[in-house]
Structure formats: structure tokens, C-alpha cells
Amino acid sequence: MKMNGEHPADMSEMANMDQDTMTMPGGTHMMMDTGSLRRKFWVSLILTIPIVLFSPMMGMKLPFQITFTGSDWVVAVIGTFIFIYGGQPFFSGARNELKMRQPAMMTLITMGISVAYVYSIYAVIANDIFHVTPTVTDFFWELATLIDIMLLGHWIEMGAVMNAGSAVDKLAKLLPDSAHLIGADGTVSDVKVASLQVGQRVQIRAGEKIPADGTVNDGTTSVNEAMVTGEAKAVAKTTGDTVIGGTINGTGTLEITITGTGDSGYLSKVMTLVQSAQDNKSQTETMADKVAGYLFYAALIVGVGSFIVWLMTSNLAAALSIAVTVFVIACPHALGLAIPLVVARVTSLAATSGLLIANRSALEQINHVKYVLMDKTETLTAGKFSVNDVQSFSDEMDDNTVLATMAALEQQSTHPLATGILSAAKSANLNVTAAENVYQQTGVGLAGDLDNHHYQIVSPTYVAKQGLTVPKIATGHPGDTISYLIENQQVLGVVAQGDQIKPEAQKMVTQLKQDGLVPVMLTGDNRQAAQTVAAVLGIDEVQAELLPEDKDRLVTDYQKRGGVMFVGDGVNDAPSLAQADIGVAIGSGTDVAIDSADVILVNSNPYDIVKLIRLAKTMTRKMTQNIWWGAGYNIIAIPLAAGVLAPIGFILSPMVGAVLMSLSTVIVALNALTIRRD
């Protein structure tokens, strides 16, 4: 993550390292993309056709089965290819699970197909070379179809939830490509940002992105930090103040001394928090992995135990047959589709409701969620300032004249406060004539001429410093931003602006409380503005003026008391989105936040949080049902296959096992389709 000449591996290079790694539930990694899985599935499926035609299913001869001299060897060759080619993703996944000492789905699949393959090769050799009687049943039919279904299941799941973006890559893109480096002799030259070092001086011109963290040496301006810190208003900067790499300079020109770049930079620290949180979350074991892990140990213990018992009481052939049947039955086809079919259905329904699911495994934590932590700006509020009130202090001006005069000065400005004033004037149908000779007064505001008068728009700080007399303000709301109109050092009027609360936010907070969840506001904005919004919405717990590491810490603290869903939109929210049990990004937010989240609210509608919670609960309920249908019968099937009732003359027939597997596959598919849009 270094960004200087001594360390060529910059953030963008780090971002591209794992683009082709699919993170499966439970932390398993499949080193391939969707295209590779799709290709393996289709090749394996086509090659399965001759195996289905030439070999029996669980020893049961099918009506359409074709046999001819050498057909067993044809099946063996094709089965070997499918085993190696189609099974490769599962071998890799099992290796990773075993390295973590956490056997789960990949290990169970690998055990099932490996036992089926080895025993099937043994069966072909025993039948066609040594001509043993009775003939040994092979499992090539089960091997091929199991690989097909598992590849299909993982392809469906990957295609449904694959998040093509990279939060790390988006963080790197926040910085500009070049910077204006000031040399020892005062000359300015353009250099690559990656070559900047601590202690160097750079110049940032109006409207440019700040290339690195630093301290202002010269200049006065306002900096838009909303994307990074969450502060809605532009922040004034002057000599001695600190600036953050990736934020946007306003109208002034700054000279700064670099204090942080590479690993020491603010964005790099945010990236480290994001990566750490995502790594921790990837270790969370999913419902299917837990069941697969239990099945793996059950099959291993019962299979080995039954082999030993039958070897002692019968013969090697019988012992092998029963043990292999146990291993194969323990890896049901339905389990491979139980979760992916639900995921595909839920993902499709969610998309129609404006919810994009990027990480379905996180949604399995929904029943444990107790706290819903939310950022303020762009999540609960629109991030757009609007005029709450206008008040005139002059006998020669009414309120509308004050607003029209300020709008005349703000005609060419794109500042959020200017936009609010212009919108209010337009809504009031005021006749606004553009002022002349308008110029920016650094650290003060705007000034210009209108109808032979020279006006200024200034901040409360300027009014206080100049000792100007201001009548008592009975306008606006707590937390509003105040702008004064003055002429010849006389205050003529005031405009109060506030960030607009989204209309759906109130309904969302009320519903969360009714559902027994605790809404909490975490924001980088100022405390007064945060408290004002929280009071309107009925949010009792508020934390304001937070840095990313503060939010991340608070998410962790709340997680000690219960499950946490975090909703945010800015770069400063990215670590918290990744750390939370469920991270939800507002669709209008930054790419970094969106790529750190588990779910994206496309319509930026706060009430969609309620929809998400309901959908997630439906998903977990259906997953639980499908897992029972897809694997629950093993509670009875495995002991019966092992011969627990052999003393009374009953052993589960391989054919019955095949029917049970087929029936469970149909049931889980139908159950997934019963999920409907509510």
C-alpha cells in the first residue's frame, strides 16, 4: 500500500490482487470467476450424458441403460475426467477448509466424490479384470451428477451475489493521479502522487482533489469533506489547519506540507480497517457450512466404524460396499442446491424492490441483529440544504427581498448553501437579477453589486469578529447554518438553512422500534445538527463528530451487546459497513461504501431497511427448511445404510438412497420457488 518511489506497490495494485478469488461461505476460497464455473459445469454436464446412459444408478439398472463390451471402461475414462476437471474447485476449497481446521461443504463434497471415484475404479477393475461374483456396484452415475449439481449450485450462488467492485480499488481512485510539487527554489512541477513523500510541499488549486494528508502553510479556502468524513457542510481551512487526501478543495489556492502518504495516509488507514473487517467477516461460518461440517464428521465416523464392524463380521467386499454407501449418501445432491436456489430467488425478488444483495451469508445473521446503526447525511437526510426561514432586519427590505438579493449574489456559485438559496428563491417565484462584480472573499463569503448597492453574504464568524449588531434571531431550527446579508457593515437580514430529513426516515425509525430493534445514529457531522435530526426522528442514541476509526470502534462495542446492522454512504462509513454483521450502503453513496457493504439500497430509501430485514428473515427461514429437506433425512439414512438394523434383516438399499436423494432435490427446488414478493 506504499505510495512513494521506494514502494511501487500502490493501492490500485493491491486492489487488483484478488479479483478472481471467490470467497465462499465460511471463508473458503474458489480461485476462479463465474465464467470458469460456468464452463466447468457445461463440460461436465455434457460428459455426464454417456455416464447416465452406460452406468447404473446406485446399482439399479435404468430402462434406458445401454451396455456393450468395454462400456465400463468408457464410463471410467469419462468419469476420471469429470472427477479431475469438474472436481478441481472442490479440491481447492477442501484444502483451504482443512488448513483452517474447519471442514465444511467443500470437504464434504470432496470426500463424497473421492470415495465414489476410488471405489468405482476398484469396481471396474474387479468386474472386468478379475470377474468377481457377485459384481461390485460402481458409483460413476452418482459421482458425475453430484459434481454437476454442486457446480450448478455454486454457479447460481456466485452469479446471484457476485460483487464485481473492489472497495480498495475505489479508495485508490479517490486520490488524483498527479500533484503540483513545490521545489526548494519555489518552482512548481507536476509529479505523480505515488512519488510524494512526507515533508514535501504541494500546491492545490481551486476545485482540485487534495493529493495527500497535510498541514496548510498558506492560503484560505473551504474544503468539501463530505465524501470522506461525513461532514455535510464545506469546512473552512486556513494556515495551520489539517487537510485529508481525497477531499476536494474549494475556490481558494492552498499550499500544504505533506504529513501522511502511503501507509501513514488517512485513506490507507481506512483501507486497512476495511480489509481487516472483511477478513474477519469472511471467517463467519454459514448455516450450510455448519450442517456440512456435521455431516462430514458423522459420515466419517459412521463410515469408518461400519467398515470395521462389517469387516469383522462379514467380508471385505461387504464392508467396502456399506462404507462407501454411507459416504455417498452423506453427500446429498439436494444440499448443493438447497442454499443457492433460495439465494437466487431472494436476490431476484430483492432486486425488484431496489435491494442489491452482494453478500448473502451476512444476511443469515439477521435474527441476531439488535442494533441498527445509521449514518446521518445521505442516509437519514438528503445531504441537500434547504432554506428553513428568512428574516429581514431592515425597514427597507422584506423577507423576500433579502432572499432575492442573496440569490442574486449566489447566481454563479455551486456551493451547497448557494444551491439552497437559489432553490428557495425559485420556489417563491422571486424575480432574481444576477449581481455584478461578484467575487469571493476568502474566509468571509461573497460580495457583489446590485442596483447601485454593494452587498456581502457572510458567516456568523465574520459578524462576530467585526462586532456587528444582530437583532435576536427567531428563525430556523437548532443546528441550522446561518448566512447574513450585510451592506456597509450593517446586517440587513439572515437566511437559515438545514439539511432535509428524508420523508421515509421517520416511518423507518418507528417501524424498527416496533420490531424491537434499537436505532442508533453515528455521524461525522457536528453534534448540534445530529441531535436536531435525532430528536425529530425519535432516535435516542446519538454519537457525533466521529472519525472512521471511531465508528468502527463503536460498531465493535455494540456487537458485544448484540448483532449490528450498519447503514451508511461515505468513505468514512466503509470500515463500519465491513465490520458490521450486516452492512447496508445507500445507493447514492460513494463507490467505496457500496463495495464494502453486504446490501445496497438502490433507491436510497431509508424504509427499504425495513424491507431488507423482512426479506432476510424470510431467506433464513427458507434456508433452514431446505437444509432439513436436503440433509435432514441423513439422520435416519446414514445409520440405516451402515446396517444398524441388520440384526433384524434390514439394510438400506442403495436404490432407496437414490430415491431419497432425488426426492429431496425436488422438494428444495419447489420450496425455494414458494418465496414470493410481499
Q: What is the Cα–Cα distance from 115 to 302, expressed in whole angstroms?
A: 14
- Three-class HEC string of 376-435: CECCCEEEEEEEEEEEECCCCCCHHHHHHHHHHHCCCCCCHHHHHHHHHHHHCCCCCCCC
* Nearest residue to 373 via CA among 273, 229, 546, 522: 522
CA distance 76 to 330: 23
Round to whole Å and give the CA distance between 159 and 165.
Answer: 14
Nearest to 544 by CA among 536, 558, 533, 559: 533
- Residue 381 sits at φ, ψ, to 5 deg, of -115, 165
Name, in order, each residue with C-beta under 8 angstroms of 593's C-beta and a sequence gap of 6 or more.
167, 568, 569, 570, 571, 573, 574, 577, 585, 586
* 319 contacts: CB under 8 Å, gap ≥ 6: 306, 307, 308, 310, 311
| Catalytic annotation, pick one of 72, 289, 375, 591 | 375
DSSP codes of every residue in 275-312: HHHHHHHHTPPPHHHHHHHHHHHHHHHHHHHHHHHHHH
241 catalytic? Reply is no
Q: Are 545 and 527 in contact (CB under 8 A)?
A: yes
* Residue 125 backbone zone (phi > 0: left; psi -120 to 50: alpha; other: beta): alpha
d(CA 320, CA 520): 59
Q: Residues with Cβ < 8 Å from 213, sequence gap 6 or more?
A: 242, 243, 244, 245, 258, 259, 260, 261, 264, 265, 266
Spatial CB neighbours of 437, under 8 Å, sequence gap ≥ 6: 448, 449
HEC string for 35-55: HHHHHHHHHHHHHHHHHHHHC
Nearest Cα neighbor of 90 from 100, 77, 104, 102 is 104
**299 touches 327 (CB < 8 A):** yes
Question: Rounded to an integer, what distance in angstroms lies between the CA atom of residue 56 and that of residue 127?
Answer: 14
Question: How is residue 492 written as a grid cell?
Answer: 440587513
The residues annotated with a catalytic role in the active site are: 375
